[in-house]
Structure 1
Amino acid sequence: MDRNLAINGGAKTITKSFNWPVYDQNEVDAVAAIVQSGKWGNPDCGDEVAKFEKAFADYCGSKYAITCVNGSVSLRLALIACGVKPGDEVIVPPYTFITTASSVIECNCVPVFVDIDPDTYNISPAAIEAAITDRTKVIVPVHFGGLACDMDAIMDIARRHGLKVVEDAAHGHGAEYKGKKLGSIGDVGSFSFQSSKNLTSGEGGIVITDDDELYAMMRSLRNVGRIEGGQWYDHYNPGCNYRITQMQAVLLSEQLKRLEAQTCKRNENGLYLNQLLAEVEGITPLSRGEEITRHCYHIYIFKYDASKFGGLPKNTFAEMLAAEGVPSFKGYPHPLYKQPLFQKKNFMCYAIPETADYSEVCCPVAEQACNTDAVWILQHAMLGEKKDMELFVEAILKIQAAVNA
């Protein structure tokens, strides 16, 4: 046992705390003003909600934005507005959070899992094309960790096959593909404001679009099926109350003022960490091409080769790294199709056909990422200084030296 390792009682490499969320008196005052006003709810898309929606749409370069209670609902609103019908197929990656796929189930549609690219861990365009059938209606690319998918290839596939594209940008606030903000490239972009996200109000979500019809439908679904200009008790579509509060809106407005500088900081640190880790045997940063004009590093991911660390299993390595003070994690334990929801077909939906069997699904790249390769560093750590990035590498080298001694 190497007593120098923090996991064995030795000194941590990093003793600094990386706090999240970042806030000051501006957030406190903004929320307090709403509390004192007594106007807390959002019965008619209140002023502060509308202000934030416009600010976020402008930031993303989109025509419209519609807030809602969380990033799971935002995906559901987008899918329904895109016209999916019971039994339709929606193509999704298996290396993402559960709601990318469970929102499809909630729409009475069939998630079709396709593998990810081994260099980026984003959905593979070639795998998308191979999975399209006459029942396919929507592609949901996930900009995983804040790294943009190959949107040129995905949009080309979608247009050739007459499909809609819903960008799952829950990790993608402020990131760019060829100078365009993520979420603004497909038919709809979906974001989350859950507590870990790069832009947060604790919970919340938003969808953005340039399409007038999609906007009108998502706005109606968010607001109990009401339509703009209609009567309060007239309900035209099967929506629910998915509105956010005035307090969330002002909190988000204040947080949005920080997002650009924070995203630039994460991007700068990510590039520096890539440079440092490229020199470490057994560690490979994920690839980012020239089309990635900004990465927001909601998760910094590197690939781990146990053979260069004395055969140390990935999960043990991740535990050691966290013990050294690096805000890190081993990542997903398995791809989504191996979740009990899909293996046991606990769908509770009338339209999922018996042929939708996930017991034999295998996406080899996603499985390897989960089982042996992918290690995450979390977004708040990427707001550190250059010296912190150097210490992250020092912690990795410390573990490597110990296990190879």
Structure 2
Amino acid sequence: MEKNITLETLAIDGGDRTVQTHFPWPIYDETDVQAVADVVRSGRWGNPDCGDLVETFEQEFAAYCGTKYAVSCVNGSVSLRLALMACGVRPGDEVIVPPYTFIATASTVLEVNCVPVFVDIDPDTYNLDPKAVEAAITERTKVIIPVHFAGLACDMDAIMDIARRHKLRVIEDAAHAHGAEYKGRKLGSIGDVGSFSFQSSKNLTSGEGGMVVTNDENLYRTMASLRNVGRMEGHQWYDHFNPGCNYRITQMQAVLLSRQLNRLDDQTVIRNENGLYLNKLLSNIDGILPLTRSPEATRHCYHLYIFSYDSSAFGGLPRQEFVARLAAEGVPCSTGYPHPLYKQPLFQNKNFMCYAIPESVDYAAVNCPVAERACRDEAVWIFQHAMLGSREDMQSFAEAIRKIQRVVTQA
């Protein structure tokens, strides 16, 4: 009996790539270069003593988000720390966070001497599960940090209702969510504070940088002081009222971000439309399930496009090997986090250094099964710069997946 001969060869085995497009990031032109060069030539590089470009960008970003105030800072980790301190947390307070997020969402909680409480994610969205949030609240809970993961809005109605009933603060971690919306409102503008990152992979970037936005004047003044070595507006340069540090950004970052902000809406529209189209394409492939997007998520900025992978529809091909094949076909992709945050050595070894975390806190027994499955078996990420491609590119992404499926199920 003759052996079955595979008619296609995957790129990983020497065949042609399905996706031929290159997806550059960051995107810039000579006007960005000129704007930064103008600042360099001016010799006025610093902040706050060398001009108003930082303040101008803060005002632009606040207006974009629909908030009264914005405070820039050096990165999205510091922005979370500023928000937590301004919200008045005290040593030993508990802060609810998801386990499926970047380390800063939880490590900044440790930095303010508070206890991260990991709450599982919803299997359909990979965002915080509101029912699990409510079940985790104790008399020590002070803050909830919902992460709009991948740029998909959390269920903010449910989270804000829980926070109001329990008198808790809400800090939106919107590091992935520039330009995304919930019921027409920009993410970051719904809770007490919204926290953003401008790190190099983000949808709005200057290489590094961060921002907090709020409608609360007291929170704004406190965060502005903490960002600027504890100074307060209207007082002398050498008067320090709060335990802040120099977390200021430079004039060069501000002018670059201001330029990039002009492109953000157009880019977000493209990502949003491509995400909706890709949902339709991938929903027709056995074993591929795009994450659910509720009607309330009126705009998704797709910092990541995430789908759930079922190896049984791919001849038992392990997810890691599927992603290696998909990347070889030209799709910028990853398996994402290898394990939930609470399994990091920081938490498992309780390496909390000088921080006043109670001895009773023990992360060895924490288990969030949805996050575990996402990390171990299911999640596949496509990166945001790829979502700026054409509809034909989205078709090629889907074809790359179908090609892999055909080849591995013929073997």
Interval of TM-score (by shorter of Structure 1 and Structure 2): over 0.9
In the other structure, the counterpart of 2:119 is: 114
Match of 2:377 among 368, 372, 375: 372
Gaps of 5+ in 1: none
| Cα shift at 1:46 | 3.6
2-structure distance, mates of 1:45, 1:172: 30
Which AA in structure 1 matches 2:296?
Answer: E
Match of 1:40 among 45, 49, 55: 45
Query: Contact conserved, 1:105 with 1:349, CA < 8 A, in 2?
Result: no
2-structure distance, mates of 1:191, 1:91: 18
Number of residue pairs the alignment of both structures matches: 405
In the other structure, the counterpart of 1:337 is: 342
In the alignment, is residue 264 of structure 1 matched against residue 269 of structure 2?
A: yes
Classify the secondary structure of the residue corresponding to 1:404. Answer: helix
Q: Deviations over 1:208-249 (max 9, x none)?
A: 000000000000000000001011011000000000000000
Q: Deviations over 1:69-102 (max 9, x none)?
A: 0000000000000001111100000000000000
Q: Deviations over 1:165-208 (max 9, x none)?
A: 00000000000000000000000000000000000000000000
The 1:38/1:44 distance shift into structure 2, 3 A limit, reads closer
2-structure distance, mates of 1:39, 1:25: 21
Alpha-carbon RMSD: 1.0
| Cα shift at 1:65 | 0.3
Query: Contact conserved, 1:224 with 1:240, CA < 8 A, in 2?
Result: yes
- Aligned-pair identity in percent equals 73
In the other structure, the counterpart of 1:62 is: 67
1-structure distance, mates of 2:307, 2:50: 42
In the other structure, the counterpart of 1:312 is: 317
Match of 1:31 among 27, 36, 39: 36
| Cα shift at 1:45 | 7.8
In the alignment, is residue 86 of structure 1 matched against residue 91 of structure 2?
A: yes
1-structure distance, mates of 2:136, 2:360: 15
For 1:347-366, list aligned pairs within 5 A.
347-366=352-371
Which AA in structure 1 matches 2:26?
Answer: P
Which AA in structure 1 matches 2:81?
Answer: R
| Cα shift at 1:355 | 1.2
In the other structure, the counterpart of 1:290 is: 295
Classify the secondary structure of the residue corresponding to 2:212. Answer: strand
Match of 1:390 among 395, 400, 403: 395
In the alignment, is residue 274 of structure 1 matched against residue 279 of structure 2?
A: yes
Query: Contact conserved, 1:68 with 1:243, CA < 8 A, in 2?
Result: yes
1-structure distance, mates of 2:363, 2:273: 40
TM superposition score normalised by structure 2? 0.97
Query: Contact conserved, 1:166 with 1:190, CA < 8 A, in 2?
Result: yes
Gaps of 5+ in 2: none
